Amino acid sequence: MNKVFDVIIVGGGPIGLACGVEAQKHGLDYLILEKGALTNSIYNYPVNMRFFSTSDRLEMAGIPFMSVENKPTRTEALEYYRRIFFHFKLNVNLYEGVEKLERSGDHFKITTSKGIYQTRKIVLATGFYDLPNLMNVPGEELPKVMHYYKEPWPFIGQKILVVGGANSAVDAALETWRKGAEVSMVLLGDEVDDNVKYWVRPDIMNRIKEGSIRAFTRSKVKEITEKEVTIITPEGDVTIANDFVLAMTGYKPNFALLDQLGVELSLDEKRQPCYDQANQESNVSGVYLAGVVCGGLNTREFFIENSIVHAESIMDDIVKKLG
């Protein structure tokens, strides 16, 4: 408690690391707090996931991002950020979750799972992959319901229901089907999302058209039981046999941390935090936002490639204000 950092960065993902690099370049006394592994969100991506962005657009701090193909894999990204971590000898505390944020006089006090810290400024780079959007239906708490998908092997020969029509849902449906699962999908619209990766979308559309993967369109889950799932469809309720539900329903930012500090949110459906786009400072003096957390519930507005610039803007402003 005696030491006061210039800035503490909450979140050790790509944008949090970029903020650490810039803090270091600016000569600031900083610390990055990450509740899981380094770039924990990317670690939790599906094992065979490939980025939509090209590797050169994900580069930071002048360190080349080399990948076998134009669009890097999850493993290549993990290796790249590992290199960033060691190259800059970043000050990161891993497996230390932030539990409470509060103002303490001219400083902020941060309580974590392992200690208490003081800092002059805070950067929230927490992303949105930690909290899934729940379906809020009976049976969602059953062990067979999963909001994260890693790989297809556990689902060989199983009856799978994939809920959602975005990239993660499509990847899960195709991978599990190709490994021998009996796959059905529940889609809110008439087909999978328009933003599904262009090299994957024809594949899933053809599998649905030929009947290899059954799609319930304009539908939603009503109830989940140990052996079945009931789906609300335009033709009425349909109950199907089921072993696992992969609820790829998207994710949302950790609004609790924003609320603790008094960061205001917009009143529309986006729930976008209030911040100055010139320097990323929120309505709370000394609290900065970086990365996809800036979009609130609109998680498709900010990505790694268009958020890396937040780091420099934030650290420039912090240096000015600290004098």
- Please state, in angstroms and rounded to a whole number, the distance separating the CA atoms of residues 259 and 23: 25
Percent of residues, the chain, with pLDDT higher than 70: 100
From the CA atom positions of the chain, what is the Rg in Å? Answer: 21
What token pair was written down for 165? 């029509």
Least confident of 129-133, 199-203, 243-247, 260-264: 129-133
Q: How confident is the model at residue 1 (pLDDT cuts 50, 70, 90)?
A: low
Q: pLDDT tens across 68-116, in order?
A: 999 999 999 999 999 999 999 999 999 999 999 999 889 999 999 999 9
Q: Where are the beta strands (DSSP E) in 105-257?
A: 107-112, 116-124, 131-132, 145-146, 159-163, 182-186, 214-216, 220-224, 228-233, 236-241, 244-247, 251-252
Least confident of 50-59, 134-143, 208-217, 296-305: 296-305
Strand partners, 224: 229
pTM: 0.88
Looking at per-residue confidence, does 47 or 204 come out higher?
Answer: 204
What token pair was written down for 158? 């199983």
Q: pLDDT tens across 266-307, in order?
A: 878 888 999 999 999 999 999 999 999 998 888 778 889 999
* pLDDT value of residue 316: 98
* pLDDT value of residue 105: 87
Q: How confident is the model at residue 174 (pLDDT cuts 50, 70, 90)?
A: very high
β-strand 220-224 against 228-233: which pairing, if any?
A: antiparallel
3-state secondary structure of 243: coil
Q: How confident is the model at residue 317 (pLDDT cuts 50, 70, 90)?
A: very high
- Rounded mean pLDDT of 235-263? 94
153 CB neighbour count, 10 Å cutoff: 10
**Is residue 128 pLDDT above 80, yes or no?**
no
Residue for token digits 């229901």? 161
Residue for token digits 């100055």? 276
* pLDDT value of residue 297: 83
| Nearest by Cα to 308 from 3, 20, 112, 105 | 20
